[in-house]
Amino acid sequence: MSNATKISTNRDILGASALRPDGAAKVSGKFEFSSDLHAEHMLWGATLRSPHPFARIISIDFSAAYKISGVEAIITAQDVPGKKTYGLIASDQPVFASEIVRYVGEPIVAVAADHPETCRRALAAIKVVYEVLTPITDAEVALLPQTLQIHPDGNLIRHQRIVTGDQDLQGDVIVEGTYEMGMQDQAFLGLEAALAIPDSGGAGVEMYVATQWLHEDQKQIAACLNLPLDKIRLTLGGVGGAFGAREDISLQVHCALLALHTSRPIKMQYSREESFYGHVHRHPAKIWIRHHATRSGVIQRIESRMVFDGGAYASTSSAVLINGITHIQGPYKCSNATVDGFAVRTNNPPCGAMRGFGVVQACYAHESQMDKLAVACGLSPVEVRLVNAMVTGDKLITGQVVESVAPVARCITETDSIAMPAPLAHDANALEIVGGSGLTSLPHNIVRGVGWGVSIKNLMYSDSFDDFATARCRLQDGVVHLKYATVEVGQGFVILAPQIARSVLGVDEVVIDPVDTRIGSAGSTSASRQTWMSGGAVDGACRLVRQRLFEHVGKLHDIDPLRLVIEDTDVVDMLGDFRISVIEASTGVLFEETFEHHHRPTEELDANGQGNCHVAFAFVAHRAVVDVDVELGLVKVIQIATAQDVGRVLNPIAALGQIEGGIAQGLGLAVMEEIVLDNGKMRNPSFTDYLLPTALDAPEVVAIMIEEPEPQAPLGAKGIGEPPCISVTPAIAAAIRNATGRDLPRVPIRPQDICL
Amino acid sequence: MTVAIPQTLREALAFSSANPNAQIIQGGTDLMVEINFNHRKPTDVIALRRVEEIRNYAYTADKSKVIVGAGLPYQKMEHGEIAELFPALAQAARTVGSPQIRAAGSIGGNLGTCSPAGDALPVLSALNAEVNLRTETGSRDISVHDFMIGVKRNDRKPGELIISVTLPIIQGWQGYAKVGVRNAMVISVASCCLVVDRKLGAISVALGAVGPTIIRCRETEQWLATQIDLKSISAVAPNLLKEFGERIANESKPIDDHRSTAAYRRHAVATLSRRLLVRANTK
Ligand SMILES: Cc1cc2nc3c(=O)[nH]c(=O)nc-3n(C[C@H](O)[C@H](O)[C@H](O)COP(=O)(O)OP(=O)(O)OC[C@H]3O[C@@H](n4cnc5c(N)ncnc54)[C@H](O)[C@@H]3O)c2cc1C
């Protein structure tokens, strides 16, 4: 028997504001991002891209490029040994365009050379002759039957309807509108980069890459290279943000191909400008929507037509569409619906995943409508939302019953209880009011407005997809080793995983093994899913190990393992006075378990859009207070108040980080972030002109986390990554409407939209 | 590539006269961006960062003017004596980029680049600054109006260094305002500098980002002088204010681009100039 005594420590277990281990390194510039990777004798890879949104490739001549000393390889579609195309859902995107280019920036050739500058010269020396075609850049035009189909798969990526209930119902109150959203970029700070090291003999490749999902990359790379899966081994390179833009393949296949071609390590990395061309964006959307309601504001029916511009290739457009149409009712009860959704192919840059995934577009439309409904019924924005707030057990327009905890009303009332910011002082510091350092405005030029946004967001993948997660736990000598392929993109799994292990196993020392494909998939770091899914896998593996430990201790000390529990860092007999430290109990013994966490199965929607297509839901409310210089159309967001349904807070500081970051991203979409397109060409592929919020643009955030543990979730915690950025955009738009009296049916709202 | 790092102005001038096509670099906040984008591939570079003589300021002998070194970083103009003498310059300096950019960027570089959106330039224009150019053997002073000749084009001759600008000390209100689509670190969509000379009873208004180069609104300036007595502070009647803004807008020549529209820019300079005039006449 041990005489270990119980020591109470400030341990970094679940619930503690444990600090991320990579935090200081990132802030001080010491963190190794993928773009910092290096290998002996490596070559650099670079990509030649189309300058045209739509053109036929007549010829490619790289004889001059080959003559440049230092150029080691030039590859095109002909050099792709396996599948010539890739894609997350439909495999419709060529690794290299060979006959037709369908968007500006589409890859045509890749080169490998001894220096980035040699690469640049080689690209400049390649002569591509194009027959320029007229691009189709309007999604509505692309849908017309007489329009040229710009891809063999057609211009319609997916059409899905939701038809339920009374199709003829007319409400006493009817409000409608058409809402538009521009193309937002994920604008992560760590640019795309990878290092590929070929196996000797060229039978495989070792890759270090910044991605969101190692196993999906592995699968797609292997198919294009025509190699077995186990010949493509991926290790996660340091990731500097993702927000959806790293779900699709960018440079992975090119980099691996060049490595096999040259038998040398290849480093590829994009510049900021190339990054804008090299990844998918948030779908621009146009949404018509009509609400039927009673005079007291109760929603009876919605009708909607939603068009998402998917750009040149499918990426995840079809899933984005499903999310859009299935969330168009918002977090509100509604039994009758007629919804028509289209994901459309155009010659615009391809669009795919971005934080909020289709729900951002839907939410902007339904929340704009809620305010119209409030006015029509003489209700306040809060009242109209409370009247309609959904609860657990409600049936969605897809027929799915909301089984998740659904504290919608509580999100609204708790947000409403947050104190309003102080009124703008007449002697306010000029830098801190609208116009900021531009000194455009004085307090008397400024009008304050308040607006609301509330949202519902699905968690995990939908539509019958089994996006499971795998984790292995090893305990020996009081030290836990965790192994998983869960990608850290900044969301904080790197601290959450050890917190889980410490809580379950009573250890303090937790080592995270390299994140790579030498274990089963963890699924993607997206859809607000890793805390739930990989958290569930780590929790499951640790619990299995704990069971082995209890069995071991029980056997040695003749105690029924069922009586044993972990208390702090000890194994304790609940019914007796036996106690042994986990360190001692595990000395010289190895316990190892692997666990796969699967969420409950989901279904595909039927022709009428009916089916249990989602796993679970999370809710959030936002109230925005903005100051507007109405005459100049300039905006400053003063405060965002929010109450978010989080299930359970596992790490308060990390949760707050997600909330504040999401709000900044939603603010960007509301008032400044847009890729400006002109006939398929990006006009602002740089941080000079693609504007992200600065510290002077970021509002005060007052956040309440509503903790009602989710029974379905392994740790009781819901995903919290996406909700913060969803309803904050319509809340800000509503606040600007409130200040200006303008309609503002499109975001981002530009100065000229307000004042001209 | 060779990089000369002169320690004194004399050394710098010797280098530039010997190698008139060498690329000058001061803060590098414009030049390095161009080099990174491969828009410029200098073979020889003269770095002025160590030349202390152009990183400070001094009064002229009669104390009527101040000579501001071409290499003085914006950061040093935000507060202190320069800010007190030339509030519009301090305000323009504060709107430039971020603290990092303001620690490096300079008026010499702003003039060297000569972008219509350069924030120091409307102030130099409204103050009727002189640009002081020097070679190893000669020097010339040229009005800033003649120095700026087009979009990113100026009158600097090969081998010349911009060593300073001379700014007259003016009795009266002055201010700068700039519209951008975020509250800091943003390229100007439209900007305006207004300077009132109470002694002469004159006003000058210069606009940024609404034409190929900085626009001085001379017609409106003269018109306003016939409408109100600029030697004293008096409220400007609303209809006069309105006409003032309209006249300013008419003198601007903005275009539509990805940052904004011509219509908005016209509206913005009308609004900014009116606001500045009101500020001038309430203080
Ligand atoms: C992130 C960022 C934000 C910015 N924001 C702003 C902004 O808000 N407003 C704004 O106006 N600008 C802005 N700029 C542009 C830049 O900072 C300014 O134009 C600045 O004044 C340039 O000064 P510099 O000393 O860095 O010039 P440099 O880059 O060193 O030089 C610029 C040009 O001037 C020439 N030159 C420099 N000094 C001399 C000299 N003494 N004699 C002859 N030629 C010379 C150089 O040869 C070069 O052609 C920004 C730049 C960046 C990177």
Q: Given CB atoms, is B273 within the 8 Å cutoff of chain A?
A: no
Q: Which residues of A touch B263 (CB under 8 A)?
A: 752, 756
pLDDT at position B62, please?
A: 97
**Over the stretch A67-97, which tens digit does the pLDDT of each residue have?**
999 999 999 999 999 999 999 999 999 999 9
- Decide: A472 and A502 in contact? Cβ < 8 Å: no
Smallest Cβ–Cβ distance between A438 and the set B38, B178, B259 belongs to B178
Q: How many CA atoms lie within 13 A of B97 on its CB side?
A: 20
CA of B109 to the centre of ligand 1 (A): 4
pLDDT at B45 over 60: yes
**Over the stretch A457-472, which tens digit does the pLDDT of each residue have?**
999 999 999 999 999 9
Residue to mutate, B29, B48, B55, B68, ligand 1, most ligand atoms under 8 Å from C-beta: B29
For the CA of B108, the nearest atom of ligand 1: 38
For the CA of B33, the nearest atom of ligand 1: 53
pLDDT at position A359, please?
A: 98
Does the beta-carbon distance from B178 to A684 stay under 8 Å? no
Q: How many CB atoms lie within 10 A of CB A710?
A: 23
Q: Write down the mean pLDDT value for chain A.
A: 97
Closest chain B residue to A685, measured at CA: B258
**Over the stretch A690-703, which tens digit does the pLDDT of each residue have?**
999 999 999 999 99
* CA separation for the pair A622, B229 (Å, rounded): 52
pLDDT at position A8, please?
A: 43
pLDDT at A326 over 70: yes
pLDDT at A672 over 80: yes
Report the candidate in A183, A312, A64, A135 with the shortest Cα–Cα distance to residue A669. Answer: A183
Amino acid identity at A728 = V
* CA separation for the pair A601, A460 (Å, rounded): 11
Domain with CATH 3.90.1170.50 in chain A: 34-134+195-239+246-268
Closest chain A residue to B271, measured at CA: A632
- Decide: A256 and A263 in contact? Cβ < 8 Å: no
Does the beta-carbon distance from A445 to B184 stay under 8 Å? no
Helices then strands (H, E): number in chain B? 11, 14
What sections of A67-173 are H helices per DSSP?
A: 116-125, 139-143
Q: Given CB atoms, is B238 within the 8 Å cutoff of chain A?
A: no
Compute the average pLDDT of residues A652-677.
98
ipTM value? 0.96
CATH number for region A468-598:
3.30.365.10
CA of B118 to the centre of ligand 1 (A): 8
**Over the stretch A489-502, which tens digit does the pLDDT of each residue have?**
999 999 999 999 99
Q: Which two tokens stand for residue B187?
A: 């390229």
pLDDT at position A201, please?
A: 86
pLDDT at position A48, please?
A: 98
For the CA of B30, the nearest atom of ligand 1: 29
Q: Given CB atoms, is B89 within the 8 Å cutoff of chain A?
A: no
Closest chain A residue to B183, measured at CA: A436
pLDDT at position B152, please?
A: 96
Does the beta-carbon distance from A691 to B186 stay under 8 Å? yes
**Over the stretch B58-113, which tens digit does the pLDDT of each residue have?**
999 999 999 999 999 999 999 999 999 999 999 999 999 999 999 999 999 999 99
List the residue whose alpha carbon is closest to atom 51 of ligand 1: B29
CA of A664 to the centre of ligand 1 (A): 29
Tell me which residue has tokens 């409030």: A374
> How many interface pairs between A and B have CB atoms less than 8 angstroms apart?
91
Question: How far from A188 is each of A246, A280, A293, A391, A499, CA to CA, in Å?
Answer: 10, 12, 41, 36, 27
Nearest-neighbour CA in chain B from A108: distance (Å): 21
Smallest Cβ–Cβ distance between A439 and the set B177, B257, B260 belongs to B177
pLDDT at position A9, please?
A: 54
- Decide: A309 and A346 in contact? Cβ < 8 Å: yes
* CA separation for the pair A80, A223 (Å, rounded): 10
Closest chain A residue to B92, measured at CA: A438
Query: A160 in helix, strand or coil?
Result: strand
Long-range contacts of B31-35 (CB under 8 A, 24+ apart): B31/B109
For the CA of B31, the nearest atom of ligand 1: 29
Residues having CB closer than 6 A to ligand 1 are: B 23-31, 33, 48, 70, 95-97, 101, 104-106, 108-110, 112-113, 118-119, 156, 161-162
Q: Which residues contact residue A731 at a Cβ distance below 8 angstroms, ignoring those fewer than 6 apart?
A: A367, A451, A452, A453, A622, A623, A624, A640
Compute the average pLDDT of residues B17-41.
95
pLDDT at position B282, please?
A: 87
Nearest-neighbour CA in chain B from A632: distance (Å): 6
Q: Where are the domains of chain B?
A: 172-280
pLDDT at position A378, please?
A: 98
Query: A89 in helix, strand or coil?
Result: coil
According to CATH, the superfamily of the domain at A34-134+195-239+246-268 is Aldehyde oxidase/xanthine dehydrogenase, a/b hammerhead (3.90.1170.50)
Smallest Cβ–Cβ distance between B271 and the set A431, A632, A697 belongs to A632
Does the beta-carbon distance from A436 to B182 stay under 8 Å? yes
CATH number for region B172-280:
3.30.390.50
Q: Given CB atoms, is B74 within the 8 Å cutoff of chain A?
A: no
CA of A620 to the centre of ligand 1 (A): 45
Nearest-neighbour CA in chain A from B172: distance (Å): 19
In angstroms and rounded to an integer, the radius of gyration of the C-alpha atoms of chain A is 27
Interface test with B, best of A185, A271, A431, A440 (most B CBs within 10 A): A440
* CA separation for the pair B222, B214 (Å, rounded): 18
Q: Which two tokens stand for residue A431?
A: 């830098």
Q: How many CB atoms lie within 10 A of CB A700?
A: 11
What sections of A402-488 are H helices per DSSP?
A: 408-416
Q: Write down the mean pLDDT value for chain B.
A: 97
Nearest-neighbour CA in chain B from A691: distance (Å): 8
Does the beta-carbon distance from A695 to B184 stay under 8 Å? yes
Q: How many residues are listed for chain B in this entry?
A: 283
Does the beta-carbon distance from B181 to A672 stay under 8 Å? yes
pLDDT at position A14, please?
A: 97
Give B47's strand partners: B25
Q: Which residues of B touch A632 (CB under 8 A)?
A: 179, 268, 271-272
Smallest Cβ–Cβ distance between B272 and the set A120, A440, A689 belongs to A440
- Decide: B54 and B164 in contact? Cβ < 8 Å: yes
Exposure b/e, A239-252, CB count within 10 A at least 16 = b: bbbbbbbbbbbbbb
pLDDT at position A534, please?
A: 98
For the domain made up of A285-462+604-755, give the CATH fold.
Aldehyde Oxidoreductase; domain 4 (3.30.365)
* CA separation for the pair A69, A159 (Å, rounded): 51
* CA separation for the pair A386, A389 (Å, rounded): 5
* CA separation for the pair A725, A551 (Å, rounded): 46
* CA separation for the pair A40, A35 (Å, rounded): 15
Q: How many CB atoms lie within 10 A of CB A31?
A: 16
Interface test with B, best of A117, A632, A636, A756 (most B CBs within 10 A): A632
pLDDT at A297 over 70: yes
Q: Given CB atoms, is B111 within the 8 Å cutoff of chain A?
A: no
**Over the stretch A352-367, which tens digit does the pLDDT of each residue have?**
999 999 999 999 999 9
Tell me which residue has tokens 């966490």: A597
Query: Which pLDDT band holds residue B221 (cuts at 50, 70, 90)?
Result: very high
**Over the stretch A245-262, which tens digit does the pLDDT of each residue have?**
999 999 999 999 999 999
- Decide: B116 and B213 in contact? Cβ < 8 Å: yes
**Over the stretch A259-281, which tens digit does the pLDDT of each residue have?**
999 999 999 999 999 999 999 99
Nearest-neighbour CA in chain A from B259: distance (Å): 7
* CA separation for the pair B283, A113 (Å, rounded): 64
Q: Which residues of B touch A699 (CB under 8 A)?
A: none
Nearest-neighbour CA in chain B from A43: distance (Å): 20
Report the candidate in A642, A689, A700, A697 with the shortest Cα–Cα distance to residue A671. Answer: A697
Domain with CATH 3.30.365.10 in chain A: 285-462+604-755, 468-598
Query: Which pLDDT band holds residue A10 (cuts at 50, 70, 90)?
Result: confident
Angle between helices B238-251 and B218-227 (to 10 degrees): 160
- Decide: B179 and B268 in contact? Cβ < 8 Å: yes
- Decide: A756 and B267 in contact? Cβ < 8 Å: yes
* Range name among A425-439, A656-670, B252-266 with the lowest pLDDT average: A425-439
Q: Which residues contact residue A667 at a Cβ distance below 8 angstroms, ignoring those fewer than 6 apart?
A: A637, A640, A693, A697, A698, A699, A728, A729, A732
CA of B105 to the centre of ligand 1 (A): 5
Interface test with A, best of B1, B181, B187, B261 (most A CBs within 10 A): B181
**Over the stretch B179-216, which tens digit does the pLDDT of each residue have?**
999 999 999 999 999 999 999 999 999 999 999 999 99
Nearest-neighbour CA in chain B from A756: distance (Å): 7
Question: How far from A134 is each of A54, A277, A310, A553, CA to CA, in Å?
Answer: 7, 20, 18, 74
Compute the average pLDDT of residues A611-622.
98
**Over the stretch A159-176, which tens digit does the pLDDT of each residue have?**
999 999 999 999 999 999
3-state secondary structure A178-236: EEEECECCCCCCCCCEEEEEECCCCCCEEEEECCCCHHHHHHHHHHHHCCCHHHEEEEE
Query: Per-residue DSSP letters for A90-104?
Result: S--EESS-SSEE-ST
* CA separation for the pair A371, A382 (Å, rounded): 9
* CA separation for the pair A322, A604 (Å, rounded): 10
Q: Which two tokens stand for residue A31?
A: 């963190």
Query: Which pLDDT band holds residue A1 (cuts at 50, 70, 90)?
Result: very low
pLDDT at position A2, please?
A: 40
For the CA of B70, the nearest atom of ligand 1: 41
